[in-house]
Amino acid sequence: MNCHQARQLFSAYLEGELNPKEKDRLKAHLANCPHCQAVLDIMADLSSSIKNLPEIEPPATLLQQLYSIPELALTPEKTALEKGSSGWKFWLSPAFQPVLIGLTVIMVAFSFLFFTSPGKTWQKEISFEIHRGYSQAQKILVKAGVLTDKVKGYQEDFLAALEAKNLYKSK
């Protein structure tokens, strides 16, 4: 282990977060490196000094001023929006960027579809498939019409047969 690797482990070592293998490797390095040992001692002293500092409650006026900072920062933007000048800030805001990305993707897809030769081939294929589907739908409707006519014919024949037998009288 070199000094750079050892110094990256110092914080975890002081907080007791190292696994036993890393801890043994670090201790072996510290036994042979007085410079790293000195840095670790300074960090340990500093850490204990920081832990021993008393907690101080900030004055109420300071807290009030700190809490009012976001309100002050938003005030100029609110007045600009209220006046009706949206400007480029709105269009480039992080909340609107996914919409811009989506529009860009759509525009690229449409430009590929309409302005390239593969896109024109796709247009022809799509048009052909639409016309083929339309003609198949027409054929189905014609068959349905023929079937409806046949059923009406059978109905009329059935009613005529019933009238001939005097079982049914039409109104």
Spans of all domains in the chain: 3-51, 85-115, 120-171
- The SS3 call for residue 119 is helix
d(CA 146, CA 143): 5
Q: What is the pLDDT of residue 147?
A: 86
Residue type, 42: I
> Which among 155, 150, 153 is positioned nearest to 170, based on CA atoms?
155
pLDDT of residue 37: 92
User: What SS3 state is found at 53?
Assistant: coil
User: Which residues, 6+ apart, have CB-to-CB distance to 135 below 8 Å?
Assistant: none
- CA–CA distance, 110 with 95 (Å, rounded to integer): 25
Q: What is the pLDDT of residue 121?
A: 82
Residue with tokens 């529009």: 103
Cα separation of 120 and 126, whole Å? 10
pLDDT of 74: 65
33 touches 2 (CB < 8 A): no
The pLDDT assigned to 21 comes to: 92
- Say which amino acid occupies 81: L
Tally of CA atoms within 13 A in the half-sphere of 162 that contains its CB: 10
Q: Which residue has the tokens 């609107």?
A: 96
Q: What is the pLDDT of residue 87?
A: 66
pLDDT at 82: 53
CB atoms within 10 A of CB 61: 8
Q: What is the pLDDT of residue 76?
A: 55
pLDDT at 52: 84
- How confident is the prediction along the chain (171 residues), in pLDDT tens digits per residue? 888 888 888 888 888 888 999 999 999 999 999 999 999 999 888 888 888 888 888 888 988 888 888 777 665 555 555 555 556 677 777 888 888 899 999 999 888 877 887 777 877 888 889 999 989 999 898 888 888 888 888 888 888 888 887 765 655
